[in-house]
Amino acid sequence: MSKQFDVVVIGSGPAGYVAAIRCAQLGFNTACVEKWQSASNKPIYGGTCLNVGCIPSKALLDSSHKFYEMQRHFADHGIRAEQGSIDVAAMMERKNKVVGQLTLGVAGLFKSNKVTGISGTGTLLGRGRVRVTGPEGSQEELSASSVILASGSEPSAIPPTPVDNRLIVDSTGALEFDAVPERLGVIGAGVIGLELGSVWSRLGSQVTILEALDDFLPALDRQMAREALKILTRQGLEIKLGAKVTGSSTGEGKKKSVTVNYEDGDESGEAVFDKLIVAVGRRPVSGDLADSAAGLAIDKRGFVEVDEYCATNLPDVYAVGDLVRGPMLAHKGMEEGVMVAERLAGKKTQVNYDLVPSVIYTHPEIAWAGRNEDEMKQAGIECRTGSFSFAASGRALAANDTDGSVKLVVEKATDRIAGCQIIGASAADLLQQIVIAMEFSASAEDIALTMFSHPALSEVVHESALAVHGHAIHKANRKR
């Protein structure tokens, strides 16, 4: 006899665990099936984000940034310290403690909200039916009024550089190095490649990033992308654009290495590394998510097909997070999880997909939301822009953290904010001010007339809004 629930969620990453908790808060008897296992065969919640993604990578980014600051910038503050060294094992132990604390935190939230956690791999059998295969191979069936699919994503692979988890690793393996590689190669100059490349570059690796595209960070407008490239290059990252990887080979001599072959325009190139990270994106985990007889619609790229409210082609079956269309971002999946839960409760909640913030947690951070200037022009919409540099911020100067700038884009006819891009310290947090403003259809004038604390990094946002109409105080304004 199958166990009966109101809602069964498959997957406990950010989209899944948030969906499960919100369903329980709304009074639904909810179960969450998770395949990640501890040594004692208990579910480890949090999915890729908490275990091998967002959280561990940020822990390493913060540790490596502190080491970089000690070596490069402490003296600017009058702090004299010995050259110092990095204890990779201790850094990894701290990272693991952070991960453990947060995954246990999700388990605690399940308990307090009365979500039933079930250990095993969930497979959709059809409307309202889920089979769970336990770690020992045992099977049980769950019945539910509604099913939410949230199985997440996994690193993509490319044939020229097969991952062996020794010399060639994916993003998961790059979080587990036991020493700083002297020469590190990274394939892909996207979010993951730049973040992981930054970690090991700060710790002393000679990092080369091979990017197949000719454009750097195409989601940014060209002006901001050039600024980001200049800053990261100055920090020591060698970023080769238009470099298409064609093959690789590993050497098994006294000093193991991997040789990467690539094409750069009409020329061929070769690079030798001690480690190679393949960071070419992610793909949805949907291969064994549903029984073939269930009839779940999945496109050729592996994404579950859904409508604007994350409903699949099957009645009472929903899919959220990395499993569906749109950017693979934890916060996007979280909002989808909340939306589905609340719509099950009869609410008319929806996600504003035009305002999904994106962040690259290098230092300085790179963050953006809405449309950039190039996109506005391509759409034939007249716009104004306002920019302000962190170098003109008293707070940034006092912190010796002046790289980057803010660029605000507004519709010329309405003065309504259309988008924002920020490169700089705490860019993710500063961008959120503009995302909130955009959610309420704010204008540049609204931001300009708002009082900001002084001295604070957020003043760069204020000044960029003033600059839209040539009223910036702490820089020379362009004639309009």
455 to 7, 127, 397: CA distances (angstroms): 49, 57, 10
- Single-letter code of the amino acid located at 323: L
Task: Read off the pLDDT of residues 165-196 as tens digits, 9 standing for 90 and up.
Answer: 999 999 999 999 999 999 999 999 999 999 99
Through-space distance between the first and last CA atoms of the chain, rounded to whole angstroms: 74
Q: Which one, of 214, 232, 271, lies nearest residue 248 by Cα?
A: 271
Asked whether the beta carbons of 411 and 324 are under 8 A apart, the reply is: no
Tell me the residue type at 73.
Answer: H
Mean pLDDT check: name the lowest of 25-29, 42-46, 401-405.
42-46
Domains of the chain: 3-155+283-353 (3.50.50.60), 168-280 (3.50.50.60), 364-468 (3.30.390.30)
Q: What is the pLDDT of residues 208-263, one digit of tens each?
A: 999 999 999 999 999 999 999 999 999 999 999 999 999 999 987 667 899 999 99
Helices (H) and strands (E) in the chain, counts: 12, 22
pTM of the model: 0.96
268-292 tens-digit pLDDT: 999 999 999 999 999 999 999 999 9
User: Which of 447, 73, 451, 423 is closest to 225 using CA atoms?
Assistant: 423
- Cis, bond preceding 455 (omega within 30 deg of 0): yes
| Whole-number percent of the chain with pLDDT over 70 | 99
CA 410 to chain centre: 26
Beta strands in 87-211 (DSSP E): 116-119, 121-126, 129-133, 139-149, 153-155, 168-169, 183-187, 206-211
H or E element in which residue 160 lies: none
Examine the pLDDT at 480 and tell me if it is beyond 70.
Answer: no
In the prediction, which pLDDT does 89 show?
98
Contacts of 52 (CB under 8 A, 6+ apart): 171, 172, 175
Looking at the annotation, which residues are catalytic?
454
